[in-house]
Amino acid sequence: MKKVIKKHPIAIRWFHWINFPILAVMIWSGLLIYWANDVYRIGWANKTILKFFPDSFYKALHIPFRLAEGMSIHFVFMWLFAINGFIYVLYLIFSGEWRLIFPNKKSFKESWTVMLHDLHLTKKVPPQKKYNAAQRIIYTVVIFMGLGSVLTGLSIYKPIQFQPLTSMLGGYEWARIEHFTFTILFILFFLVHIIQVILAGWNNFQSMITGFFVVKKNKTLLVPVVVFAGDLEENEINQNDETIRSDENETVNEQKIINPKQEENNQEDGDSK
Indicate whether 37 belongs to the interface with another protein (CB under 8 A). yes
| 145, 185 Cβ separation under 8 angstroms | yes
User: Could you tell me the CA-to-CA distances from 206 to 2, 20, 24 in Å, in that order?
Assistant: 16, 16, 21
Indicate whether 69 belongs to the interface with another protein (CB under 8 A). yes
Q: In this structure, what are the phi and psi dihedrals at residue 251, rounded to the nearest 5 degrees?
A: -120, 140
Indicate whether 261 belongs to the interface with another protein (CB under 8 A). no
Identify which range of 35-43, 145-153, 194-202, 231-239 contacts another protein by CB under 8 A: 35-43
Indicate whether 68 belongs to the interface with another protein (CB under 8 A). yes
Among 143, 211, 239, 248, binds another protein (CB under 8 A): 211
Residue closer to another protein by CB (options 17, 86) is 17
Residues 237, 242, 247, 249, CA torsion sign = positive
State the Cα torsion 136-209-73-138 to the nearest 10°: 10
Indicate whether 2 belongs to the interface with another protein (CB under 8 A). yes
Indicate whether 203 belongs to the interface with another protein (CB under 8 A). no
Show contacts with another protein in window 130-149 (CB under 8 A): 130
Residue 63 DSSP class: -
Identify which range of 48-56, 196-204, 238-246, 265-273 contacts another protein by CB under 8 A: 265-273
Radius of gyration of the chain (CA): 23
| 127, 249 Cβ separation under 8 angstroms | no
Q: How far is the CB of 160 from another protein (least distance, A)?
A: 5
- CA separation for the pair 198, 209 (Å, rounded): 15
| 85, 146 Cβ separation under 8 angstroms | yes
Indicate whether 71 belongs to the interface with another protein (CB under 8 A). yes
Residue ranges that bind another protein, judged by CB under 8 A:
1-7, 17, 21, 33-34, 36-37, 39, 67-69, 71-73, 75-76, 79, 96-97, 99-100, 129-130, 158-163, 167, 172-173, 176, 206, 209-215, 224, 252-256, 258, 266, 270, 273
